[in-house]
Amino acid sequence: MASIALFVYLLQRTGPVAVIENIRVVGWWGVVVLIVLSGARHVFRALGWSYCVQTNGRRPVVLELLGPRLIGEALNDLTPAGPLLGEPAKVAAVSRLIPVQAGASSVVIENLIYALGSVLFMLSGLVLALVALAESRGLWWTGGGLLGGSLACIAVARWTVTRRVLLLGRMLDFLKRSGLHWAFLERHEQSVRDVEHTIYEFFLKSRRTFLAVLAIEIAANFTGVGEAYLILKVTAARTSLFAAYLVESASRAVQLTFAFVPLGLGVQEGAAAATLQAIVYAASEGVYLAVIRRIRTLFWAAAGLFLWARYSILSSADEKRATIYEAAQCQR
């Protein structure tokens, strides 16, 4: 509710008519370019995901993973459950191609590397902001704190992997010692432990693959820089790669921090407005940018929901065929 209230407040302060006018200025061709750029980001992440799949069988290609990715992202973007619903949906959708355990571990690995790539991308934007706005002591203190906190998180994550600290395994052991014997946990305990083991094996033994996926995930962020530059070029009196870079860095920070806010409603507008205002743009230009970006988000979310409906129909048909086959075998 707070995010919706913030969105309404920013929209009213900016002026709905001005927002609609800026959407009109971008035009159909501009919207198509934004959709293509954001589609490239989905392709990059599907490519990174394909390298994270650990299976003895055939590894799915990018186009095969693009559909499951769009399904998961649609649920991430449109529902308050966010990743709690979207990521399992990816695993369910890709289970037609690879074993569930391989699907689950690959989704977790890809998300962890994406988070690391996004943090590095945000830190680079923060460093640029500190250099450009060196006269602001308050920014130096804030930026220094964020930089130190981010590096500390990366260091803790590295220590956890190198020491093979099995967090999920320890959590399961704690629940068992506490007397909690849920049927669901007992049924899937070994699978959870196997998935966690596979994740650690990837990070410890597949260093080259990890670095390749990290490079892909970082590259995916630059499609957003292109989006921001295009929108600012059309809607603002001036633009620069520096401004577009900072806006995209702020957008990634908001996406990671407020993953459970549907469509990032309100928080994306607020972050873009505050970022541009800090570098002597009008706050309204940030609101225009975030709202226009939401058009391509809705396009890909609609595509994901369509694929989810198609996947559900195919799954139901497969279950019916399996039931009929089992019944026929029993009659024989």
pLDDT in tens, the chain (332 residues): 777 888 888 888 888 888 889 889 988 999 999 999 999 999 999 999 999 998 887 889 999 999 999 999 999 999 888 888 999 999 999 988 898 889 999 999 999 999 888 888 988 888 777 777 655 555 555 556 656 666 676 676 666 666 666 556 666 656 566 666 555 566 666 677 778 888 888 888 888 999 999 999 999 999 999 999 999 998 887 788 888 998 998 888 888 888 888 888 889 999 898 888 888 788 889 899 999 999 999 999 999 999 998 888 766 655 555 455 454 555 55
**What pLDDT does 191 receive?**
72
Tell me how far apart the alpha carbons of residues 161 and 29 are, in angstroms, rounded to a whole number.
46
Sequence-distant contacts of 90-96: CB under 8 A, at least 24 apart: 93/67, 93/68, 93/307, 93/308, 93/311, 94/60, 94/65, 94/68, 96/314
Confidence (pTM): 0.85
> Which pLDDT score, from 0 to 100, does residue 325 have?
45
Distance CA 291, CA 283 (A): 13
Tokens encoding 301: 């979310």
Question: Residues 287-312, buried b or exposed e (16+ Cβ, 10 A)?
Answer: bbbbbbbbebbebbbebbeebbeebe
